[in-house]
Every structure is written in structure tokens, then in C-alpha cells.
Structure 1
Amino acid sequence: MEIAVVTGGVAEIERDAGQGSSMEAEWLALLAALRLARRQGLADFVLLGDAAAVVAQANGAVRAPGAMAAHLSAFFVLASDGPAPRVRHIKRTQNLAGIALARGR
């Protein structure tokens, strides 16, 4: 799996995030984005993603199935360590992290 996070116009790409599904990669990217926001001390931020299912799970709108439940639990643990993050769905064509991954190939 590959994941990317973009903040302030700078992309951070991890090319070897292990083996897994695209859904797992989306969760790993969301967790990486939240960790980065916390490291940078950001208080008012929005996490953007193009995986509607992951966004819905992170927002508590739908239940996380099977293996994704562990990622959701990790998200809630990280989220509890500061201001509650807002998670919003965007189109794939607007996702700067996805664009960065596509360009880096």
C-alpha cells in the first residue's frame, strides 16, 4: 500500500505502508493525517478524503466492518487527544494526496 498526506501544500508520501486493501490504505492515510495535524499543533483543521465509506465511518455515520473497526478505534483514540477533528468527503479530483501519489509513479 501507498499513502499520502498533504498539509500546507507539502505532500508526505509513504510508499511501503504494508500489504492491505484500498480501504485499509485510506484508513492509514486518515490516521497519518490526524497524527500530522497533532504533531503540528493544529487546533482547527479539516481532514479531507475521497473514500466516502472511510469518511462515514470516521464521522460515526456508519459502522466500520471487520478489520476496519481497529482503524476506527485507533482514530477515536487519536481524536481524543485534542480538539475533535472534522472529516469531510471530497471528490477524487480534489484530493491533493491522491494527486501526489498519482504523479509520483
Structure 2
Amino acid sequence: MRKQGLKLYFDGGCRPNPGEMETAVVARGVTYHRSNLGHGTNNDAEWLALIHALNVALSLGETELELIGDSALVVNQANGVWKCRSADLRTHLTKFEILATHFSRIRIKHIGRSRNLAGIALARQRIGL
């Protein structure tokens, strides 16, 4: 049986949109939250969350990853399925691609918002749970 690699759930958000950005990554049941990331759009925040997930994986010493998020735009752009036409988003894609060279295998998967553990963690953070 082939090892799946470390599962990392990622999500980014901002309130309002555009607004102050934050990200969450969940790996091995631990939530890694970052806030006060500057002003941007929900798409910027989602890209920052994917990049955050790679940094978490690096800190954990992982080389094979399964990245799981609910942004179809970011998942499809990172997988090369959709073109990245925005200059701002291309900057995030470039950062992602540079960080990705540190890993032997990366799989990026889209799931529904209600199943994204990082999105659930962000929502709980907002309401103070």
C-alpha cells in the first residue's frame, strides 16, 4: 500500500472581502492559525493558506503531502488546470512553486467547505471558541 503523505487542510479568509486576511492549516489534529496578514481578497487569503500549509509541512519535516482545501480556484491553479491570469495571484503561485521544490510529492485536492477542517477552525476562531 502506498503512503498517502501528511494530510494538511488549509483555508484562508478575510472580513470583509477585501479585508484583513487570516489563514488556518490543520495537520495531525493541530491547528496553525495566522492572522493580521494584511489587506487582500479571499483569493489572496486562500493562496496564503496554501503557502502556509507548505511552511507547516517543512517545519514538521515532511516530504510527501496531501493538501486539502475548499477553494476551487487555488486548487486548480496550483495543479496547473486553470491559468493564473491575475498578476497578484501569479505572485502567490510563484511562491508556492518555489516552496514545492522542497517536497518529493504533493497532491492537492478540493473538498467542500463543510468538510474542510481548516475552515471549521477559522470559523471557530472568529466566534471565539
TM-score by length of 2: 0.78
* Residue of structure 2 equivalent to 1:74: 95
Where in structure 2 are there 5+ consecutive unaligned residues? 1-20
More strand by share: 2
Task: Quote the offset at 1:43 in angstroms.
Answer: 2.2
Which ranges in structure 1 are unaligned for 5 or more consecutive residues?
none
- Alignment partner, residue 47 of structure 1: 67
Q: Which moved more, 1:69-78 or 1:79-88?
A: 79-88
The answer to whether the Cα contact below 8 Å between 2:65 and 2:105 also exists between their aligned partners in 1 is: no
**How far, CA to CA, are the matches of 2:73 and 2:30 in structure 1?**
26
Matched with 2:105 is 84
Matches within 5 A, 1:2-17: 2-17=22-37
CA contact (8 A) 2:63 2:102 kept: no
**Alignment of 1:29 onto 2:57:** no
Sequence identity of aligned pairs in percent? 46
C-alpha separation between the residues in 2 aligned to 1:85 and 1:38?
Answer: 12
Partners of 1:45 and 1:79 lie apart in 2 by 10
- How many angstroms apart in 2 are the aligned matches of 1:7 and 1:82? 16
AA in 1 matched with 2:49:
A
Moved >4 Å (runs of 4+): none
State the aligned residue count: 105
Look up the SS of the partner of 2:85 in the other structure.
coil
